[in-house]
Structure 1
Amino acid sequence: MKQSFDSTQQIVVDELKNTMNSIDELQVESLITAINNTEKVFFVGVGRVLLSLEAIAKRLAHLGIQTVIVGEITEPAITEKDLLIVGSGSGKTMFPLGIAKKAKQFGAKVAHIGANPESPLSEFTDVFVRIPVQTKLYLPDEIPSQQIMTSLFEQSLLLLGDTIALMMVKDQNIDLKSLWQYHANLE
């Protein structure tokens, strides 16, 4: 029997709604404060998580925030005035973990958006936002998902980024039309 589009998309939407309703608002507000009190915001992750982080970096750039993807050819030096946002569900992924450790050596603040509050990243994290969804660790308090692998984490990460951007727009009373000045214009 074929699975219908309607019933399948409803699974995805319901899981996202449940997840977004489970994110701690105080943790999100702490991340927004960290973003607002920094010079540059760096992002690091791997795979599909990196894709979501790149979209968040672009959205924050639309708000006039200087954003950097770790590893890009034009990446500047990180300093104590900057923030590194690490996306990692498990908090155990080697590359983001190593970058977080190095960022702390340069005095930068580190924010971790992940599912595992007890991860090795917690040693280097100043701000933690938990997306409490099923990861490869299958922790007992994770929100289960019928989706492939960690799709729910990556989707929720992207929605969290857009939610944060909208919160910042509303908090700062930014006129949405004025944001087009930051949009790419060599297209």
Structure 2
Amino acid sequence: MRTRCVLMLAGWLAIVSLPAWAGTDWTKVAGALGKSGTEMPGGVYRVGLPRTDLHVTLDGVELKPALALGSWLAFRTTDDMTMVMGDLVLTDTEVNPVMKKLAEGGIEITALHNHLLRAQPETFYMHILGHGDPVTLATTLHNALGVSNTPLATAHPQSSESAPPPAIERAAERS
């Protein structure tokens, strides 16, 4: 009897101590946002939103999106709600419409600044913070990003049969 009580107590403690994020269905968040992400350690769901639509130059040099134009969102569920934080790369004409949509949906703007002085077009970095239902947060973010040109579609990689060989392989073939 004592062993059974100890086992039942241990089982109950194991269930109660499961992290809150273990039950979060991130596919619903991805559906509402319009872009899928990656589950990271610690229960964080991260969505990368590189601004591949922008052609930004700094002192005549074109910047790659991976270098300085990477928007991102990170979701994490706690005991009773989900928190989202992120950094959105926006052009000067996108800032106000995106900010308005975020505010309407209850997401805070915690910073707005510029990383790239002298860049053309001018880009801004908007830090955001929100708390609440994960799907509601994702829907608000989708609506806000929808008034910008931020690409939300997930890129489909080319198959290896149709993709051209890397430049280094083509150069090796010529020598």
Shorter chain as normaliser: what TM range? under 0.3
Provide the TM-score with structure 2 as the length reference: 0.27
Between Structure 1 and Structure 2, which shows a larger proportion of helix residues? 1
Between Structure 1 and Structure 2, which shows a larger proportion of strand residues? 2
Larger radius of gyration: 2
